[in-house]
Every structure is written in C-alpha cells, then in structure tokens.
A = this chain, B = another copy of it.
C-alpha cells in the first residue's frame, strides 16, 4: 500500500538552506524504495524573501502550507543589525505565526547526550530527557503595548496569557509521554513569583497527575531548573513548561548535550488538524552561512521526529541510529555535505 506525504519545505535563511539540503537527502535516502513517497514543495520564506518582496508570510503562503501533511523548516532570520530588517520581525511574523496559526501547541524538544558527543560539562552523566514546551500561549502571545512611547514616562506592558484549555492539553501530552518513558515529570515554572500564571499550571498539573498515579511528579522553579541542567541533568525525564521557560531551558539543554547543532524539535499539533512542523533548535547563523560549516545533524534529527510523527517509526529509528552511529565516530571538522554523506552512508550500511 503506497502512501504519499505532502511535505512543505521551508529552508529559510542563512545556514537553514544548507542544513535542509542534507535533511532532504537523508529523507530521500531513508524512503528510497519504500512504500512512502514524500512530495516536497519548497517555500521561499524568511528574511531574504522579505528583502526581495516585502512579504513575510502572506495568507496565500499560509493556505498553501496548510494544504500539506507536514512541514520541514531550516531556520529563519537575517543578519542582526541589518537596517533593512529594522521594521520586520521575521521571528514573530513568520516562525511564531506558523506555530500559532497551525496550533502547534506541543513544542517537543528531546535532549540526549549521544555517546561520542561532548558538551561543556565535566561530568554530565546520562542525559536523556524531553522538554514539552507549550507553543501557543504564555508570554509569547504578543499581547501588550506601550503608552507615552519614547518619552521618559513610557510604560510598556507585556502580558502572558494562560488558559486552562491551552495548559491542560499540553500537560496531558506530557503525562502521556512520561508514561511511555521513565514515568517522571517535572513542571518548571516560577509559581512563587508569577502567582497568576503559576497557579493555573500548578493546578492543572496536580489535576492531571491524579489520573497518572504511575508518574512521579516534581516541581522546580525555573532558576533552580537551570542549575540542575548543569549539575544533574540526568535527573530529568519529561519537563513540561510554558513557552518562554521552554525556550530558555531547551537552548541550555542543547548546549549541555553537545551544542544546538545537535538539537532537534517538533512543533506539533497532536490533533492533526494542521500540519506539524519540524525544525532544528538553532537559528540561521548568518555569520557562517554559505560556508559549509553548519552541522546538519539537528535538521536530520528533526527528520527523525517528522517520520515518527507520521507513524513511520522504522524509518525514524533508522535515521536516529544512523545519526547516533555517526556521532559516535566523528572526529575533526567536516563540511555540512560531508556530515550528510556520512549519515547517509550509515543509513545504507
């Protein structure tokens, strides 16, 4: 029974294009000769498109993307300080707009210290956890504004919006994931200070916890969580947290597991109402773009998450194993393409 998956591909800016090229090659390699075919549509979106046309993400773009089964994204964003981008906010207008419009309420970010990978910690222990970051609300909603802007009397407010609907669905996802892993869930927030936002998270985690007696539940303030990420990251299994804390924790987690060149992520709509989107955690790194210096591993691991999400578990496992085997034997600098080649060679071995 053959299956066609319609995949929207958004290479984006900077190194996004280089790493997505390798991710696509890996995807082709792992599905070659199988019953599933990926029908890929490239979308030119990002800072370069904005500079060329003035558009960030049009309604037509969004409609076209929506008509796909899934999305593979590289990275978006121009050179910091580029005057021509002064009024553009590619992150909000493109990346966050996709996450919000496509209701990607689970931002799934696995953190694993692969054998052979080395991070900044002297004695990291076994790191293997997943951050389930809420993706559609919290401090990321963009609600707020300023009065008396630009004057000495300016007041600028930024509001975090947290709904029972939004918190509960992501918390449920996290508990289900914990059930399938090591049955440990840590809520990270700052309930002692952010009393309003914190209370709803705490209440809902407590409530859903009562339906999961097998899962041991822990709570950490975000500041303490960053300490444990560098002193005892092995303690974590599943972390569930809000959009902003998840952003911070996953960059730090990426660093301690060998750098964000290895960190993959999925922006998932578990209901299947909209296509989910898979992307490396890293940015577009314009400073090294076009030089074949970028590590495509995070993009390739994002392909594994994509395959898993589509139910192609064997293919996902093959990509994952190929990457792990490659990481275990890396030494010396390689170009982006060379890393792609090496992983494809493992896949075909």
Contacts and interface: CB of A to CB of B under 8 A. Distances in A.
Interface residues of A, number: 64
Interface stretch (A33-41, A51-59, A196-204, A304-312): A196-204
A158 B89 CA distance: 24
Contact of A92 (B146, B192, B219): B192
Interface string A181-222: 000000000101111111110010000000000000001001
A160 B163 contact: no
A203 B144 contact: no
Contacts of A200: 146, 154, 156
B158 A196 contact: yes
Contacts of A248: 222-223, 226, 248
Given A152-B164, A161-B155, A226 B227 contact: no
A122 interface: yes
Number of copies of this chain in the oligomer?
Answer: 2
A244 interface: yes
A324 to B, nearest CB: 22
A224 interface: yes
Contact of A244 (B89, B190, B224, B226): B190
A227 B203 contact: no
Contacts of A120: 121-123, 230-231
Nearest to A160: B158
Interface string A125-159: 00000000000000110101110101111111111
Contacts of A154: 163-164, 200
Contacts of A230: 119-121, 230, 252, 255-256
Contacts of A199: 146, 156
A161 B147 CA distance: 11
Interface string A245-260: 0011011101110011
A126 to B, nearest CB: 15
A168 to B, nearest CB: 7
Interface string A264-290: 000000000000000000000000000
Contacts of A164: 148, 151-155
Interface of A: 80, 89, 91-92, 96, 119-123, 139-140, 142, 144-146, 148, 150-165, 168, 190, 192-200, 203, 219, 222-224, 226-227, 230-231, 244, 247-248, 250-252, 254-256, 259-260
